[in-house]
Amino acid sequence: MSNFEYANAPESKTIAKISQSYDLFIGGKFVKPKKGKSFNTVNPATEEVLAKIAYADKLDIDLAVSSARSAYTKVWSKLPAKERGKYLYRIARILQERAREFAVVETLDNGKPIRESRDTDIPLATAHFFYHAGWADKLEFAGVGNNPKSLGVVGQIIPWNFPLLMLAWKIAPALATGNTVVLKPAETTPLTALLFAEVCQQAGLPDGVVNIITGDGITGAALVNHPDINKIAFTGSTEVGKAIARSISSTKKSATLELGGKAANIVFEDAAIDEAVEGIVNGIFFNQGHVCCAGSRLLLQENVMDEVLEKLKKRMSLIRVGDPMDKNTDLGAINSSEQLKRIKDLASAGDSEGANRWSPECKLPSKGYWFAPTIFTGVSQSHRIAREEIFGPVLSVLTFRTPIEAIEKANNTMYGLSAGIWSDKGSKILWAAKQLKAGVIWSNTFNKFDPASPFGGYKESGWGREGGRHGLAAYLESDAKVNK
């Protein structure tokens, strides 16, 4: 099959108004960091500096937490629930109105294709606010008693793979349940969180209900260790998740941790193969594979392996890698040079442990951080590329002969965030879903998200759930507990 020729279809950068520098958002205003330190955020597709970002340290965090505390005690916890809901609706509507601007800023700062930020990240973030707006005055149905109480001030730390979407997953339930927040975006993707701070101002959200502090892991650790925080909500690496669990273990702080994954995407012999190939591609190449629930371990039933691999390679040859601002692009830039190095190191481990690497022919841009879509065949369970999260566009292919072997291999991991099942037989799908130790299981599809559906993992993939009723419960305590 020959490649289609596409005319360029670039989205316009002028839709986004990115300032040269950004301060911290504390108490409803942009304020300078006390020590005047800053760092740059770059466009990973071009290595151009996009903006200078304030670096928050301990003194700034003290200010942000005290502003969140006073907003909590004086305003937010006293507001009727219905009024909280109105603010969430207002935020959702503004995000919808400014969707194109948010999509452009997300793509410039993160490197993901504009098609994905436009069609996935921003609409899902908006949906999360709409969904939680509806919950604000119905919390007695959240499953934590008749009169559930908010926790207080929540510290929230998010990663760089879905910057605005992870912000929405954190802020929407926290506000709906009556908590106030101090949120730290990742150091490589702070811009949409800072744009969101403007949305809070535009919505007239009371000062201090949402505070955004920018910085790195040291800033994040200082937020975790602040004594006046009631709960930590974190999404990121398992290593940092464990460090957070250790540092709050002697405190009364509660935590939800959304960590890594190494999901099995299982294709049985009776699957619709063409659909499965689409699902495999979506499972690992969506968002450059920077996805905690990515289908990064493909388990193929041995008798369909040749057919699936042949079709998969053909399909991979059609993946368009390059300028994330081009609306035709399927695979954008790797988010940072550090992440590119991690991907390269793990892929080299695949080579040296004896797996076979394959990538379609594709020309990568000379500037920026890029990695071609890649599959490894001949992978065994002991290989690092079968055990460790690569967090890039790299798929490890393993095989199985019987359904029981598929389940054993799928569950043979320290993670358990998600899994995929491809089969024509409903009974087999239900049987397999029951055996799999994973929080989210997709059948005959992959990477589908809905704010009403809880998301979270088993084992080292984390603690707690986000989204749905379960996600609300993580921001509430029952009356009985409060009175103890």
> So which residues are the catalytic ones?
258, 292
Asked if 109 is part of the footprint of Mg ion (rule: CB under 5 A), the reply reads yes
Query: How far, in Å, CA of 484 to CA of 482, rounded?
Result: 6
Residue number with CB closer to ligand NAI (322 or 457): 457
Asked if 187 is part of the footprint of ligand NAI (rule: CB under 6 A), the reply reads yes
Measuring CA to CA, which residue among 60, 17, 42 is closest to residue 214?
A: 60
Asked if 260 is part of the footprint of ligand NAI (rule: CB under 6 A), the reply reads yes
Asked if 416 is part of the footprint of ligand NAI (rule: CB under 6 A), the reply reads no
Query: How far, in Å, CA of 85 to CA of 136, rounded?
Result: 5
Measuring CA to CA, which residue among 167, 266, 257 is closest to residue 211?
A: 167
The partner in contact with residue 319, picked from ligand NAI, Mg ion, none with C-beta cut-offs of 5 to 8 angstroms by kind, is none
Give the CB-side neighbour count of residue 330, counting CA atoms within 13 A: 18
Please provide the DSSP assignment of 126-161 as one string: HHHHHHHHHHTT-GGGSSS-SS-EE-SEEEEE--SS
Query: How far, in Å, CA of 274 to CA of 424, rounded?
Result: 12
- Closest contact distance (angstroms) between CB of 337 and ligand NAI is 12
Span interacting with ligand NAI, options 55-63, 92-100, 130-138, 215-223, rule CB under 6 A: 215-223
Asked if 464 is part of the footprint of ligand NAI (rule: CB under 6 A), the reply reads no
- Closest contact distance (angstroms) between CB of 190 and Mg ion is 8
- Closest contact distance (angstroms) between CB of 253 and ligand NAI is 13
Residue number with CB closer to ligand NAI (289 or 451): 289
- Closest contact distance (angstroms) between CB of 206 and ligand NAI is 26
Token pair 């535009």 in the structure block, residue: 202
How many residues sit in the footprint of Mg ion (CB under 5 A)?
Answer: 3
| Closest residue to ligand NAI using C-beta atoms | 220
Asked if 188 is part of the footprint of Mg ion (rule: CB under 5 A), the reply reads yes
Site string for ligand NAI, 317-336 (x = CB under 6 A): --------------------
Helix or strand or coil: residue 398?
strand
Outline where 225-336 has alpha helix (H). 238-248, 273-285, 305-316
Neighbouring residues of 165: CB distance < 8 A, sequence distance ≥ 6: 120, 121, 124, 125, 128
Query: How far, in Å, CA of 113 to CA of 121, rounded?
Result: 11
- Closest contact distance (angstroms) between CB of 213 and ligand NAI is 11
Q: Which of 217, 360, 378, 464 binds ligand NAI (CB under 6 A)?
A: 217
Q: Cα dist. 484→72, 218, 477 in Å?
A: 22, 35, 11
Asked if 336 is part of the footprint of Mg ion (rule: CB under 5 A), the reply reads no
The partner in contact with residue 260, picked from Mg ion, ligand NAI, none with C-beta cut-offs of 5 to 8 angstroms by kind, is ligand NAI
Amino acid identity, position 434: K
For ligand NAI, the binding residues in 3-42 under the rule CB under 6 A are: none
Span interacting with ligand NAI, options 69-77, 255-263, 274-282, 321-329, rule CB under 6 A: 255-263
Neighbouring residues of 418: CB distance < 8 A, sequence distance ≥ 6: 261, 263, 293, 295, 438, 439, 440, 441, 442, 457
Q: Which of 207, 216, 278, 353 binds ligand NAI (CB under 6 A)?
A: 216
Residue number with CB closer to ligand NAI (158 or 438): 158
Amino acid identity, position 283: G
**Encoded tokens for 60:** 């700034």
Residue number with CB closer to ligand NAI (39 or 358): 39
Asked if 355 is part of the footprint of ligand NAI (rule: CB under 6 A), the reply reads no
Residue number with CB closer to ligand NAI (286 or 400): 286
Residue number with CB closer to Mg ion (95 or 191): 191
The two beta strands, 24-26 and 21-22, are unpaired
Residue number with CB closer to ligand NAI (268 or 371): 371
**Encoded tokens for 38:** 């800053």
Cβ atoms of 224 and 244 closer than 8 Å: yes
Q: Which of 389, 460, 466, 477 binds ligand NAI (CB under 6 A)?
A: 389
User: For the chain, first and last CA: distance in Å?
Assistant: 69
Query: How far, in Å, CA of 473 to CA of 467, rounded?
Result: 10
Contact residues toward Mg ion (CB under 5 A) are: 41, 109, 188
Contact residues toward ligand NAI (CB under 6 A) are: 157-159, 161, 184, 186-187, 216-217, 220-221, 224, 235-237, 240, 243-244, 258-260, 292, 339, 342, 389, 391
